[in-house]
Structure 1
Amino acid sequence: MLIDTHAHLWDTGVLDYPWLAEADTLPKVFLPADLREGDREKTRFVFVQADCLASQGLEEARWVADRGADDLAGIVAFAPLETAAVTADLAALDAVPGVVGIRRLLQDADEELLDSPDLDAGLEAVSARGWTFDACIHWQQLSALTRLAARHEGLPIVLDHLGKPPLDSDDTQTFALWRSQLADLASLPHVFLKLSGLPAETVSEPTAGALGPWLRAAFDLFGPDRSMLGSDYPVSRRRGMVRADWFDLVASALGASAAEWAQVREHTARAVYRLDLD
């Protein structure tokens, strides 16, 4: 089995996604059947919240659970973790079948939020439920995320998209700075890595040659036991690529052994998200 740990679904006729209004290349409706297009093997997926209005996070999780997709492995839902209502919000999400984690986007947040006691309290509430936290940041926030993660040793934290590195930079010093900061984060054993999302972060052709150095550097830091696959589809769908093409690209770039690849494509995800799959 292959587990895609980062897939999105949405229907703008059901929920509101303001960011999609300006994303002309993305569909306004994307359902499980669309995600499966081009699959070449049995694939299960973890849905990750798709940035609908904050007030609709619970409704989004319920909508995904109600799709009845046999290949849905789990739901990483949205909750405004820094608010006073976090306990009630998480309790409501706990009643939704399949919720295994929370993502509150941090990529546009300043360091004040990442260092705030209010966010810390919300993350502790996530940890108390045995869930994970997906961290979606830009690479310049890696140091702030490392500080945050160090305060929450009992919470599995999953770094989305390699921390959105500067893929279009040909400056070796910039690459080295990203790698150094990623190494600091990787030194914390409760932090995990998604090999995901890079096609959406580059204007260049997403090939194994172009993206390989970034993927391999991150994989070398985290290792197979803390790395997992994610398609980030449809956000990272480029020039007719299907998600199976992305998985093949990652496999080619990593050059992993059979045992390492089995860990990355399935077993890390099962362990980190505590997935109960047949």
Structure 2
Amino acid sequence: MSDLIDAHQHYWDPARGDYGWLTPSLSALYRVFVPADLAPLRASCGVARTVVVQAAPTVEETRWLLDLARDEPSIAGVVGWVPLDDPHAAALIAELAREPKLRGVRPMLQDLPDDDWIAKADTARAVDALIAHDLAFDALVFTRHEAALATFLARHPALRVVIDHGAKPPIAAGGERGYAAWARAIARFAQFPQVHCKLSGLATEAAPGWDDATLAPWVAHLLATFGPQRLMWGSDWPVLNLNGDYERWHASAQRFTKALSSDERAAVFGGNAAAFYRLGADPAG
């Protein structure tokens, strides 16, 4: 399987001061994470390139990530942040899009106080700019965002959207009701042909001590709804370190997809991310 791509990971430096969620209480995460930290893990799993996703709702962090990516060949693309409802958002997107490794934006919907923001906010000019510059949209949502995100998706059929972390299913809580509501939301999102989904973040949503059996029904539903042509593997490293590790999650995901054809597995572990984010061929390969 050539050109394996991790479709979702992060780099950060807490000293920058704009990660409101990142506090010393998260001891496993509260330190600098840069490409040199991920390099041995990538090598162990055969992952050639990654998509680095914003972790702070600031343009300054996006510029920092783009600076980091400029001379780092393992960073295939950056998903940044812009204030989508700002009157000047379109101009800002046009400016940032001059950086060839900017491949999308993410508004961190899970952290906004209004679950319906994405359906109600005036983002039309920003979305038009994303489409014009061939940029994608990462949707960081829970089940509770189903109706609002569906409204947004119906409004913008030309916008490429990916659901981060399988919409963060309530794995640790368990229960048929939580599963049913999440499964319904995933099926609804999958009805929109412009939408992909990331096979990532599931370990973080599970209780400690998770194994393949813990995650199996959730992964099975993602495969059944989006299929191997619209699903892309991501590590969510280093957030993954809260309840797992890179090599363990990669191996688990490989087992979950062993029944797929070699072409389908290649799509999930790289091809889909390359096509969705317009990453192009690996210059090292």
Letter in 2 for 1:47: V
The answer on 1:12 being equivalent to 2:14 is yes
Q: Which moved more, 1:101-110 or 1:221-230?
A: 101-110
Provide, for residues 27-47 of structure 1, a one-character-per-residue CA deviation record: whole Å limited to 9, x for no partner: 420011111233231421011
CA contact 1:3–1:43 (8 Å) conserved in 2: yes
The answer on 1:103 being equivalent to 2:123 is no
The answer on 1:70 being equivalent to 2:73 is yes
The count of aligned residue pairs is 275
Change (3 A) 1:170 1:277: same
Match of 1:115 in 2: 119
TM-score (normalizing by structure 2):
0.90
Q: Which of the numbers 66, 81, 89 marks the counterpart of 2:92?
A: 89
CA–CA distance in 2 between the matches of 1:129 and 1:20?
A: 31
Match of 1:194 in 2: 198
CA–CA distance in 2 between the matches of 1:240 and 1:164?
A: 16
CA contact 1:20–1:28 (8 Å) conserved in 2: no
Letter in 2 for 1:46: V
Change (3 A) 1:57 1:40: closer
Match of 2:225 in 1: 221
The answer on 1:36 being equivalent to 2:39 is yes
Provide, for residues 221-249 of structure 1, a one-character-per-residue CA deviation record: whole Å limited to 9, x for no partner: 000110001100001124662x2321211
Match of 1:252 in 2: 255
Match of 2:53 in 1: 48
Match of 1:2 in 2: 4
CA–CA distance in 1 between the matches of 2:203 and 2:238?
A: 11
Letter in 1 for 2:52: F
Structure 2, unaligned runs of 5 or more: none
Letter in 2 for 1:41: G
Cα displacement (A) at 1:192: 0.2
Residue 46 of structure 1: SS of its match in structure 2? strand
Q: CA RMSD in A?
A: 1.8
CA contact 2:81–2:107 (8 Å) conserved in 1: yes
Match of 1:185 in 2: 189
Provide, for residues 132-171 of structure 1, a one-character-per-residue CA deviation record: whole Å limited to 9, x for no partner: 0000011211222112111110011000000011112331
Letter in 2 for 1:20: L
After TM superposition, the structure 1 = structure 2 runs for residues 226-241 of structure 1, keeping only pairs within 5 Å, are 226-238=230-242, 241=245
CA–CA distance in 2 between the matches of 1:34 and 1:237?
A: 13
CA–CA distance in 1 between the matches of 2:92 and 2:74?
A: 26
TM-score (normalizing by structure 1):
0.92
CA contact 2:94–2:133 (8 Å) conserved in 1: no
CA contact 2:160–2:276 (8 Å) conserved in 1: yes
CA–CA distance in 1 between the matches of 2:18 and 2:31?
A: 10
Structure 1, unaligned runs of 5 or more: none
Residue 198 of structure 2: SS of its match in structure 1? strand
CA contact 1:215–1:254 (8 Å) conserved in 2: no
CA–CA distance in 2 between the matches of 1:254 and 1:175?
A: 21
Identity %: 34
Moved over 4 A (4+): none
Q: Which moved more, 1:132-141 or 1:196-205?
A: 196-205
Q: Which of the numbers 271, 274, 277 marks the counterpart of 1:270?
A: 274
